[in-house]
Chain A
Amino acid sequence: MSWVKEGELSFWERFCANIIKAGPMPKHIAFIMDGNRRYAKKCQVERQEGHSQGFNKLAETLRWCLNLGILEVTVYAFSIENFKRSKSEVDGLMDLAREKFSRLMEEHDVSESLLDKCLYTNHSPHPDILIRTSGEVRLSDFLLWQTSHSCLVFQPVLWPEYTFWNLCEAILQFQMNHSMLQKARDVYAEERKRQQLERDQAAVTEQLLQEGLPASGDPQLRRTRLHKLSARREERVQGFLQALELKRADWLAHLGTAST
């Protein structure tokens, strides 16, 4: 990527970077790059110039992230906001419905982790931090699902004026929140697992009763049945995800040829 700015950090920047890196570091940062238009107004230049500066700032910020060892960045180019929710966000769910109809999956195979894998961000981990500049304190429909347990950082600085120190400040905030967020995520995941187990247990009980066997009989039998239930579900889900992956690859290839 030749447009990512060349350059290393200054002495003080390197010094602070080394201090910050002593703590937990985010692996994936999401930015809502807001403030280009207000910057242009403030500096009394054309709006286009504001966006151009915004783009330069993006190139610079990516360089800083690289210097800090942050290898994954997702950005929201905030020039036009679709007031209605974009249809593409529900496309993943549409695929689900279609496949269910062709009996690749049972409807109870639909779970939170499956929905995660159906979204177009499925190859990325959830962002650790979501940074929004220009002082606005809302999400504007950006990665709502993926940032439910991310550290939200709202900074008043306008995007074209973003500095390395602003980035450090955001990461410091992440570090302050790190253990609390980790705990909240763990509690949430535990509860999801517990509920899934409960549902599976109920399904096994029903299965046994239908076969005329005692519901609370042989624990070994229950364990085997439980294992079989989840293994079969895993198979169905994998089959579905593979089909989805192929379909996506096809669609992307089609996009590529359509534009030539």
Chain B
Amino acid sequence: MTGLYELVWRVLHALLCLHRTLTSWLRVRFGTWNWIWRRCCRAASAAVLAPLGFTLRKPPAVGRNRRHHRHPRAGPAPAAAHRRLRWRADGRSLEKLPVHMGLVITEEEQEPSFSDIASLVVWCMAVGISYISVYDHQVLNCQSSVKVLSPEDGKADIVRAAQDFCQLVAQQQKKSTDLDVDMLDSLLSSNGFPDPDLVLKFGPVDSTLGFLPWHIRLTEIISLPSHLNISYEDFFSALRQYAACEQRLGK
């Protein structure tokens, strides 16, 4: 009997993996067509799963304005200026914008697409987001001039801050009772940087993979399937979702 259950489990997982691979492959290859495909898939899955009582997570509202799709990158100068103005207007149209946005890449099959990440950073800047952090859990020691974070900036930084504080106490510059939340904040290398309001997480892994654990206590985490060939519409729909969310904070 156990063999049978195991077989069913394997089939179920194979189907789920197939669905995921197919969706991400299609997404990379066929922009608009994929949007239609995804809607069909969701409808089909909902039809199948609903009787069983499963509920699907609501995807971030995918940009409906698909007319301004892929090709803008090689556009002429007047079009570029028009786009920048549009992005700025988009930013102002939202109820709230994150002050600090984190971009967490969990995809590991291929090298991260620097051009797509660069697009995301540019859109963030254009829309009016002041602080941007890019995180790759596989990059263990960053030497670039752009602020890219790694696990070093997470728990390891907390450990270093703890060591520094111990040193200060040993040197009698501080008392152990001086340690509170603000003190630890000041000892971390993120001192001066606001906590991320929003993290856009790309890829199939449902985890932050060590991204700034201390700083993300109130961060909204919005997941997108992939950063490869990411469109401005997908990016902006995540911002719309952020703007609409209500942080009740226990009231």
Residues of A near any B CB (own CB < 8 A): 18-23, 78-85, 87, 89-90, 93-94, 96-98, 100-101, 107-108, 110-112, 115, 135-141, 144-145, 147-157, 163, 165-166, 169, 172-173, 175-177, 180-181, 184, 187-188, 191-192
Contacts and interface: CB of A to CB of B under 8 A. Distances in A.
A148 B155 contact: yes
A93 B55 contact: no
A19 B7 CA distance: 8
B43 interface: no
Contacts of A80: 250
B29 interface: no
B85 to A, nearest CB: 31
B217 interface: yes
Contact of B9 (A23, A87, A115, A137): A23
A181 B55 CA distance: 24
Contacts of A176: 13, 16-17, 20, 204
A173 B217 CA distance: 23
Given A94-B177, A94-B179, A154-B57, A149 B166 contact: no
A97 B179 contact: yes
B239 to A, nearest CB: 14
B32 interface: no
Contacts of A192: 156
A111 to B, nearest CB: 6
A19 B16 contact: no
B220 A138 contact: yes
A188 B209 CA distance: 9
A55 B103 CA distance: 36
Given A87-B180, A180-B108, 14 more contacts: A93-B179, A97-B176, A100-B169, A107-B163, A107-B170, A110-B166, A115-B162, A139-B221, A145-B158, A149-B210, A154-B57, A180-B204, A184-B209, A192-B156
A197 to B, nearest CB: 14
Contacts of A19: 5, 8-9, 12
B163 A173 contact: no
B219 A139 contact: yes
B176 A98 contact: yes
Nearest to A21: B5
B13 A169 contact: no
B181 interface: yes
B208 interface: yes
Interface in B198-223: 204-211, 213-214, 216-223
B6 interface: yes
B137 A184 contact: yes
Interface string B218-251: 1111110000000000000000000001010110
Nearest to A143: B213
A30 to B, nearest CB: 13
Interface in B17-43: 17, 20
Contact of B217 (A141, A153, A154): A141
Of A20, A145, A180, most buried by chain B (CB within 10 Å of CB) is A180
B221 A137 contact: yes
A188 B249 contact: no
Given A81-B249, A149-B209, A22 B154 contact: no
Interface in B129-166: 137-138, 140, 151, 154-156, 158-159, 162-166
B53 interface: yes
B8 A149 contact: no
